[in-house]
Amino acid sequence: MIQRKGITPATFDLFADEAAQPPATEQIGPRSWVLRGFALPLMARLLPALEAVLNQAPFRHMVTPGGYTMSVALTSCGQYGWTTDRSGYKYSPVDPATGQPWPDMPEVFLELARAAAEAAGFHGFEPDACLINRYIPGAKMSLHQDKDERDHGWPVVSVSLGIPAMFLFGGHARSDGTQRVPLFHGDVVVWGGEDRLRYHGVMPIRQAEHPQLGEQRINFTFRKAR
Ligand code: MD3
Ligand code: FE
């Protein structure tokens, strides 16, 4: 142990550990940010709120207009939910499985989405839709753009829970190269402005187990749909 005048060994170790951490905020595009661990302080409230939403609107596998069943299971909460079927993609105020409104957006979800948008420089974000995706090992999301929302001036906020994912961040054409961004439990990604319509996707999820969520990854995406 190196001893320095005025610094106790305990303090020295504390700084050494902090220096080993990756930066808390990573810029992955001109208006895109990864906020590492941003959701962790709210986790004790987020997980019970998620469970309540899932009791009312369980995960289901939806079919794309092309006739493929998605490997990702999904549901929604808030004023609008994102749905797909043979007729197309759309935001709907009711869950097609029940004809009932989607579960209310839990207050802790809203708090997290607002705070993350603010931290990334987007002011006044009030999401009206939260799409919840569930990936089990092997599930993936092909490159796509999020463009079913009315006003692309608002950002999208994404929250990762459970086992890790390798996120693919492309350009404005499907054929553009992609950067790979690993996402872990508690990470939040915010993207907007000129990055809002960039292609993105998720590589097939690798087998792993998370102590709280087991063999799954859950992702929230907060949007302003209308
Ligand atoms: C898009 N979900 O639901 S969100 C989706 O992890 C969706 O479940 C993925 O794409 C998921 O539509 C990815 C994370 C994300 C992060 C940065 C982006 C999406 C992005 C940057 C630009 C465009
Ligand atoms: Fe997307």
Nearest CA to ligand 1 atom 3: 221
pLDDT of residue 3: 39
pLDDT of residue 20: 61
The residue among 108, 104, 78 whose CA lies nearest residue 91 is: 78
Q: How far apart are CA 187 and CA 210, in angstroms?
A: 14
Q: Which helix (H) or strand (E) holds 211?
A: none
Regions of the chain short of the pLDDT cut 50: 1-10
Query: What does the block give as tokens for 24?
Result: 């808390």
Q: How far apart are CA 110 and CA 88, in angstroms?
A: 28
pLDDT of residue 216: 98
Query: What does the block give as tokens for 12?
Result: 């020295």
The residue among 70, 63, 57, 59 whose CA lies nearest residue 88 is: 63
CA of 200 to the centre of ligand 1 (A): 6
pLDDT of residue 19: 59
pTM across the whole model:
0.91
pLDDT of residue 118: 98
Nearest CA to ligand 1 atom 13: 201
Domains (range + CATH), the chain: 29-223 (2.60.120.590)
DSSP assignment of 63-83, as one string? B-TTSPBPSSEEEEEESBEEE
pLDDT of residue 15: 52
Strands, sheet with 156-162, edge to edge from the N-terminal-most edge strand: 25-29, 32-35, 188-191, 156-162, 217-223, 129-135, 73-78
pLDDT of residue 7: 44
CA of 201 to the centre of ligand 1 (A): 6
pLDDT of residue 17: 59
